[in-house]
Amino acid sequence: MTKLTFLIIFICIPVISSSKQHSCTIIPPPLFIFGDSFFDPGNNNFINTSTLDRANFWPYGRTFFHRPTGRFSDGRLISDFIGQHAKHPLIPPYLDPTRNFDEIMNNYHGVNFASAGAGALPQTFQGLVIDLKTQLKYYKREIAELRRKKGSAQTARISSTAVYMFSIGTNDYISPFLLNSSVLATYPHSRYVDMVTGNLSTVVRAIYRRGGRKFMFLNLGELGCAPGLRILKPERQGGGCLEEASDLAKLHNKALNKLLSKMEQKLHGFKYFLYDFRTSLAQRITHPYKYGFREGKKACCGIGRFNGIFSCGGKRPVKEFNLCENPSEFVYWDSYHLTEKAYKQMADQMWIIPPTEPNSLRRLFTCY
């Protein structure tokens, strides 16, 4: 794909954001990363969970790392690329036992709390993941340790200049379909969405009270179009998306928009960038060739129709799996997650907007 083609793509895909004028600095702020498998760099390697919530085996990581790291992709994630754009090294998993706090104190880059399978609701895959509330607890511990090591003034500076990244909600909405749960029959859909976004709001406000001011969010993609959800309705011979799941994502995205706008109005100094992950992913699914892919619906790794059965790597209940030769030709890496190429395109799209523009992620990194 030519450089000119990339430029056209980036301009055409919408980005939702909010920011105001601030004085700028070239020092990259630290990153505190929360969420699910779209951001998890390997925290689930260090908890007692199943292989359904782990990716620490081949062929995960084959493209960039040439080994499994725990990331649910063939390589890096959006959060990795954003960090690298901001001149950070890869942000480490909070639970990594090799992470030496004393060694990183002189050049603190942040930490990643995200956990594959996590939701905003503690009931989502309960006992197998690090839910959002627990991730907040880990953040509080991190801040307390920073305060002991660096003092209150420097810790306050870190908290206020850091960028807080969130990818959460997907598992809250797909788990009822995967587990055949009745929760969506128990609550009206609007009420269930309010529960999810309400828990997210509680965590964001808790961070704000501790000095956090700059936040980045992904909205939810076309959930029902993931290969792992397409196959849940086998009677759909056309291979259409599971609309019930996608409709929930639309409700969530509308509520998230409203929530963040309200928080910006009511919380002094609160700044946010909301990336339209839904539109970006939908365009790649529908028009893969336009973005340099050959396949937008079928996963690179898995088995069954669309390679939608979550068997990549052969370590899960279904052992058989297919593996494509070139992941860069695919939007989806496995039944639910994207390839490094897709993630990189999205991160580059966010970063290309200059910090002088009001709708810019980079402003959060360069302006305090």
> In whole numbers, what is the pLDDT of the chain averaged over residues?
92
Q: Is the pLDDT of residue 213 over 50?
A: yes
Helix (H) or strand (E) holding 91: none
Question: What pLDDT score was predicted for residue 19?
Answer: 44
Question: What pLDDT score was predicted for residue 186?
Answer: 92
Phi-psi region of 238 (alpha: psi -120 to 50; beta: other; left: phi over 0): alpha
Q: Is the pLDDT of residue 9 over 60?
A: no
Q: Mean per-residue pLDDT for 325-335?
A: 99
How far apart CA 284 and CA 353 sit, in angstroms, is 20
Question: What pLDDT score was predicted for residue 366?
Answer: 79
Kindly report, residue by residue over 91-132, the tens digit of the pLDDT. Answer: 999 999 999 877 677 789 999 999 999 999 999 999 999 999
Higher pLDDT, 20 or 210: 210
- pLDDT band with cut points at 50, 70 and 90 for residue 3: very low
Residue of 59, 38, 230, 58 lying closest to 117 (CA atoms)? 38
- pLDDT band with cut points at 50, 70 and 90 for residue 25: low
Q: Mean per-residue pLDDT for 4-25?
A: 45
Question: What pLDDT score was predicted for residue 160?
Answer: 96
Residue 337 annotated to the active site:
yes
Regarding beta strands 214-218 and 163-167, do their DSSP bridges make them parallel or antiparallel, or are they unpaired? parallel
Q: Mean per-residue pLDDT for 36-57?
A: 98
The terminus-to-terminus CA distance of the chain in angstroms comes to: 36
Select which of 17, 19, 37, 115 is catalytic.
Answer: 37
Phi first, then psi: what are they for 78, rounded to 5°? -55, -45
Kindly report, residue by residue over 162-182, the tens digit of the pLDDT. Answer: 999 999 999 999 999 999 898
Residue 334 annotated to the active site:
yes
- pLDDT band with cut points at 50, 70 and 90 for residue 1: very low
Select which of 79, 335, 337, 360 is catalytic.
Answer: 337
Residue of 14, 281, 346, 38 lying closest to 168 (CA atoms)? 38
Q: b vs e for 205-238, b when ≥16 Cβ sit within 10 Å of the residue's Cβ? A: eebbeebbbbbbbbbbbbbbbbbbbbbbeeeeee
Select which of 79, 334, 335, 360 is catalytic.
Answer: 334
Q: Is the pLDDT of residue 77 over 50?
A: yes
Q: Is the pLDDT of residue 10 over 50?
A: no
Structural contact between residues 364 and 295, judged by C-beta atoms closer than 8 angstroms: no
Omega of the bond leading into 59 within 30 degrees of 0 (cis) = yes
How far apart CA 76 and CA 64 sit, in angstroms, is 7
Report domain extents, the chain.
28-287
How far apart CA 149 and CA 277 sit, in angstroms, is 37
User: Quick one: tokens of 53?
Assistant: 């919530």
How far apart CA 210 and CA 213 sit, in angstroms, is 9
Q: Is the pLDDT of residue 315 over 50?
A: yes
Question: What pLDDT score was predicted for residue 356?
Answer: 77
CATH code, residues 28-287: 3.40.50.1110
193: Cα within 13 Å, side-chain hemisphere = 19
Give the pTM.
Answer: 0.92
Kindly report, residue by residue over 59-68, the tens digit of the pLDDT. Answer: 999 999 999 9
Question: What pLDDT score was predicted for residue 102?
Answer: 73
Question: What pLDDT score was predicted for residue 364?
Answer: 94
Q: Is the pLDDT of residue 8 over 50?
A: no
Q: Is the pLDDT of residue 354 over 90?
A: no
Return the HEC string of 127-154: CCCCCHHHHHHHHHHHHHHHHHHHHHHH
Q: Say whether 188 sits in a helix, a strand or coil.
A: coil
